[in-house]
Amino acid sequence: MESCKKICKNEADWNFIKRAFFLAKEAHQGVRRRSGEPYLLHPIAVAQIVVSEIGLGVKSVVASLLHDVVEDTDYTVEDMEHIFGPKIASMVDGLTKMSGVFNADTSQQAEYFRKVLLTLSDDVRVILIKIADRLHNMRTLGSMPQNKQIKITGETIYLFAPLAYRLGLYAIKTELEDLCMKYRFPKEYEEIQRQINETSAAREEYIRKFNAPIIEALDRNGFKYEISGRIKSVYSIWTKMMRKQIPFSEIYDLFAIRIVFQPTDFPSEKTQCWQIYSSITDIYTPKPDRLRDWISIPKANGYEALHSTVMGPDGIWVEVQIRTQRMEDVAERGFAAHWKYKHATISHDEDEFDKWLKMIRTALDSPTQNAIDFLDNFKLSLYTSEIAVFTPKGEARHLPYGATALDFAYDVHTKIGNGAIGAKINHKIAPITTQLSSGDQVEIITAESARPKAEWLEFVITAKAKQAIKNFLKREQEHNLQRGLQMLDDRLAQLNITPNHRVIRKLIEAYECSNKDELYTKIGAGIVSLDNLEKIVKTNSKNKILKFWTLFIKDSNNDNEKEAESNQNNDISKQKSSPDNQHLVIAECCRPLPGDSVVGYRDPVTHQIIVHKATCDELNRLASQRGDCIVKEAIQWSQYKTQSSLATIEVVGIDRMGLLIDLTNVITNDFSVNMRQVNIQTHDGIFEGTLSLYVRDAESLNAILDRMRRIKGMESVKRLD
């Protein structure tokens, strides 16, 4: 608690913290965590992270010490307000898990996250404390069973790590990712860590050799600085190995050189960063396409730095990061440092971080009914890859990579998005569905008569655009429904026909609608005309009656079959049988093969066990929303051993005569594997394409890949999901 005492400005602050500590100690008396240690150590650890690694103040420490008291003990939020005041009570309430489910049709896990995320609308510190809580839980995850580890790591990699990044907590984001890998893929983690340690001596020697002339130049120019070499995280190295399907030995950018300097009053920080960049490029040749200027246009999370990749000794590319001490503090401590420096200056202008926070708060003001949709929409706002585009007046706006002109329109204003009909990108007319590139200048063309369409949802990727389109379509549907109901009533009244169940049923059948709401909506939208209404209503042929009863009997039989199937599934789910005795469904999103590391997810509706690759992004999403559906037992592949599964391989290399023959010989002659499809193209001496093969398991596929990589001219061979 000494670190907490240091932030106290006076004795009253320290007494405030001590009151919270002693209340937490009394409330958690005799309770132990799964690891066996006293539960009180957890809130203390969270408070220390909040102070030492995030940089928050006294109120945040008090809320951290009390964050589990209301949830786990007899104390209430009202008690917290009476003892510590309304602000602490509000923060503790935001950190407390809900006691019930808001909507019985959705996930309690997703509802809880919605409640926590909604606190962004009130106090960002609650989210920061929650991240600290998650960090300590991840540091002590080893005592949890495997299915709980998958649930917690899935939540962490899907939501908490991106959220930490977006709030500027880069060091915490990196540690969360590494810890997720450590528990999900322990063998791979240990292997990469071992190889990093084995190459450390040679790497440190190279860093000294690379830094020597830079140090001489910076000293000569009078800079006060620190220079260091930082190794990439295990997780980032592993993801690169997975993405490119290359071994550790082929990862050349294992580290980056960081220069952190103390700026002088004159010239500006920006100018001094470029002066250091100029000194370095006088020594080493820069790679033109790898210059990243986040000083002129900072990232949306407030990150500022100048990154460049230069050619170092021995023909090795090295990334160099240049930043001031202020930029370093913001990069490591994020939100807290951001506000400390902001309020230390005269200017309180809205920056990129403020804009992002404002956008998030706006989105959270009207959350969707479904908590899972809400969570997915929030996830869309946590993009790590960004582009910067410009308005016609030159204002820079940050959008996620892959954003379209329509995303830009909604980012400017919902009204502009709803009325968009086209765009001018770099002064040339283009469709609103055009994907934008960094540096584009965009002007949106609107029309009063324009209306959002349902297919627009396929072209936008930002949460704001998706939510705005859904809201409009919902309002439009409600309007059309009411209008259609009124139009139908008026028309029936003109014909002296009383609206009843029989009449409505006839119209639903005649206009091929599934229910009466769809009927009213189509009438209101003008899709269905009422010109032949009288003829339809007064038609009462035996064929139609027969058809109706045939459909009715068929639907009733289907309902009975579904009910029987549901009861059977419920009985199966109650049995304590292993997943191997139940029907396994191979996930279409990642298509695992026998031998792959997999995780089972029990569908809450069908009760089928869906098998995902352990590395599947969709699995992380499911684990973050319904972690209770993760299957505890290991998945057995025995029933799939005799089956062949389709695998797709991507190949790239240097073209030559006989290459395709060599490829087919390896596949058909060496391994006796059937090919479903071969698609190879050549251009400018390069070949690339895909092969679809029927293989039995991951081991046999890996053997084929290893053999193909040894074919002359082959540059890259990797499996596609």
Token pair for residue 256?
């980056």
Of the pLDDT bands very low, low, confident and very high (cuts 50, 70, 90), residue 162 is confident
- 2-169 is classed CATH 1.10.3210.10: yes
Instruction: Give 244-286 pLDDT, tens digit per residue.
Output: 888 888 887 788 999 999 999 889 999 999 999 999 999 999 9
- Is 544 a residue whose pLDDT tops 50? no
pLDDT confidence of residue 552: 42
Instruction: Give 445-472 pLDDT, tens digit per residue.
Output: 998 888 899 899 989 988 889 888 988 9
- Is 712 a residue whose pLDDT tops 50? yes
Averaged pLDDT for residues 397-401: 85
The matching CATH number, chosen from 1.10.579.10, 3.90.226.10, 3.30.70.260, 3.40.50.300, for 645-720 is 3.30.70.260
Averaged pLDDT for residues 210-235: 94
Residue with tokens 């170092």, as numbered in its chain: 312
Catalytic residues: 71-72
Least confident of 205-219, 519-533, 612-626: 519-533
Least confident of 149-163, 302-316, 403-417, 579-593: 579-593
Q: What percent of the chain has pLDDT over 90?
A: 32
Q: What percent of the chain has pLDDT over 70?
A: 81
**Rounded to whole angstroms, how far apart are CA atoms 408 and 399?**
7
Beta strands in 603-698 (DSSP E): 609-613, 645-654, 675-683, 686-695
Token pair for residue 214?
């830079």
pLDDT confidence of residue 633: 63
pLDDT confidence of residue 637: 64
Residue with tokens 């059948």, as numbered in its chain: 509
Do strands 420-425 and 306-311 pair parallel, antiparallel, or not at all (unpaired)? unpaired
Residue with tokens 């002109």, as numbered in its chain: 405
The CATH number of the structural domain formed by 193-333 is 3.30.460.10
**Rounded to whole angstroms, how far apart are CA atoms 365 and 348?**
24
* More confident position, 102 or 496: 496
- Is 40 a residue whose pLDDT tops 80? yes
What residue spans define the domains of the chain?
2-169, 193-333, 472-539, 540-575, 579-640, 645-720
Between vectors from CA 26 to CA 25 and to CA 29, what angle results, nearest 5°? 80
pLDDT confidence of residue 120: 61
Q: Taking the complete model, does pTM exceed 0.85, yes or no?
A: no
Choose among 409, 408, 410, 479: nearest CA to 437: 408
| DSSP line for 268-281 | -HHHHHHHHHHHHH
Of the pLDDT bands very low, low, confident and very high (cuts 50, 70, 90), residue 541 is very low
Instruction: Give 648-659 pLDDT, tens digit per residue.
Output: 999 998 888 888
Average pLDDT, rounded, for the chain: 82
pLDDT confidence of residue 373: 67
pLDDT confidence of residue 641: 57
SS3 for 685?
A: coil
